[in-house]
Amino acid sequence: MSISRKAFLSSAFVAAATLLAPATASAQDLISFLWGGDQEHGGGRKTVSFPTSHKPGQVIVSFGDRRLYHVIKPGQATSYPIAVPREQSRWEGTTSVSMKRENPPWTPTPTMRAENPRLPSYVPGGHPLNPLGVRALYLGSSTYRIHGTDAPWTIGQAVSKGCIRMYNEDVMDLYPKIPVGTRVVVTWQRFNSEQIAAAEPEANRLTDAAQRAAQRRARYEARAFRNVSRSRSASIN
């Protein structure tokens, strides 16, 4: 990485962290605003039966199921757990993937800035506080995306501002399979999908997922608070 890029990323991080001052509580406020949620989880990726009315290649996002379905062949789909919009940000409709980005940058919308003026104006791709995670699929001309997250404990919950969040490992699995132009149906309809692929014992897998999410949240918050303290020291000195 070039010195100029390092300096840019460093200054962007300090700018974001400085906005969290003057207290650690402010860092927690920003974390809660961006991601919310607790340490619940949304289950794991699995292969399920799916209505044959949906063609292979299509993506169906069910806010009711809190799952994203990628149809892989007639009557079968890969099911991913997702975080869905909070009540005041709900929407539905048919759209398509208009753009794809690896390590996407994040710019909060004017509505987000009005709701929380302490938000940074821009977070570069790859930044540890970037809410879009490692991959993003942009939906039509809207501001909504299917994207990863650095807050895995929110998956399975209604916490987003309109976007569809996935585990980073899941969005990386989905990303190369979805070309620009893919049809995406976003609905509150629920699907009675039965798992058809063998999986490890459910109880053990979900317990492990919850523990991993709790550990990642603890590491994330410690890192965020540590950088807040550093930025405050720098401003004082």
Candidates 54, 70, 127, 163; catalytic one: 163
Conformational region of residue 236, where left means phi above 0, alpha means psi within -120 to 50, and beta covers everything else:
alpha
Cα–Cα distance measured from residue 34 to residue 133, given in angstroms and rounded to the nearest whole number: 12
Of 41, 54, 70, 147, which one is the catalytic site residue? 147
DSSP state of 134: T
- The continuous run of DSSP H or E covering 186 comes out as strand 183-187
**Contact assessment for residue 159 and residue 40, using Cβ atoms and an 8 Å cutoff:** no
- Distance set, CA 211 to CA 40, 206, 214 (Å): 10, 9, 5
Annotated active-site residue 147? The verdict is yes
Task: Name every residue whose Cβ is closer than 8 Å to that of residue 226 and which is 6 or more positions away in sequence.
Answer: none
**How many Å apart are CA 194 and CA 69, to the nearest integer?**
12
Q: Which residues are catalytic?
A: 147, 163
